[in-house]
Amino acid sequence: MGMINEERDEKQRERDLEAEKEQREAIKETGDIALDRKIHLLSVIGEIEGHECLPGNSKTTKYEHVLPKLAAIEDSSEIDGLLILLNTVGGDVEAGLAIAEMIASISKPTVSLVLGGSHSIGVPIAVSTDYSFIVKTGTMVIHPVRMSGTVIGAPQTYDYFRQMQDRILGFIADHSNAERGRLEELMLDTGMLTKDLGTILVGKDAVEEGLIDEVGGISDALTKLGELIQESKHKTE
């Protein structure tokens, strides 16, 4: 009997080690992990990579990894809520908006937490959840759309940039308490960034502008997500 128990314990240890290995690989490859209470953690770190691959030494969030993961979270009966951690400098506009739209369309409760920063196209992702937090030292940068490479000096180019900015501003205004007119003022401000247009909002400033719901940390974010999950379950009962 003792030998059988030892064999059973050994198999359990092997399964635990294999599960831990898979968890480490998931964090390494996609920055996501399943937490207790059926909560899934997704991190948006570094630069948001779009259709073109960034240098291998860059920290990136690949949208072709994130979109299928979000679809799987929506479809899974094992996941009740989604927590998103952000520390991003921004990146590809189309990819960032795609991620933001996908998060906003998830039917399960979602909460975001801005840590180091959520800049540029990271702003729509931060506001795409049901509720959002930012740490006291966290930053959000709002600035006009930029484009690298050859730019054609024609009215159509300006119209394209304007259309893209309108899409970004519209999404942020629709998914936060910030007013669109005020967002445009912040985007085009010339007094804060010495070599650029835009505005940096730190911690409570982002809350006061209506972008983020509350200043808080990981404990606050998990507590809020738990409350939203309970509310969601009560509605379906």
* Residue positions annotated with a catalytic role: 120, 143
Region of residue 210 (left: phi > 0; alpha: psi -120 to 50; beta: else): left
Q: What pairing do the DSSP bridges indicate for beta strands 60-62 and 39-49?
A: parallel
For residue 27, the Cα-to-chain-centroid distance in whole angstroms is 15
Q: What span, in angstroms and rounded, lies between the C-alpha atoms of 186 and 2?
A: 70
Q: What span, in angstroms and rounded, lies between the C-alpha atoms of 143 and 198?
A: 4
Q: Which two tokens stand for residue 115?
A: 């840590």
130, burial (CB in 10 Å: exposed 0-12, middle 13-18, buried 19+): buried
Supply the angle between the helices 155-174 and 180-187 in degrees, to the nearest 10: 130
Q: Which two tokens stand for residue 228?
A: 């939203």
> What is the number of other CB atoms lying within 10 angstroms of the CB of residue 148?
5
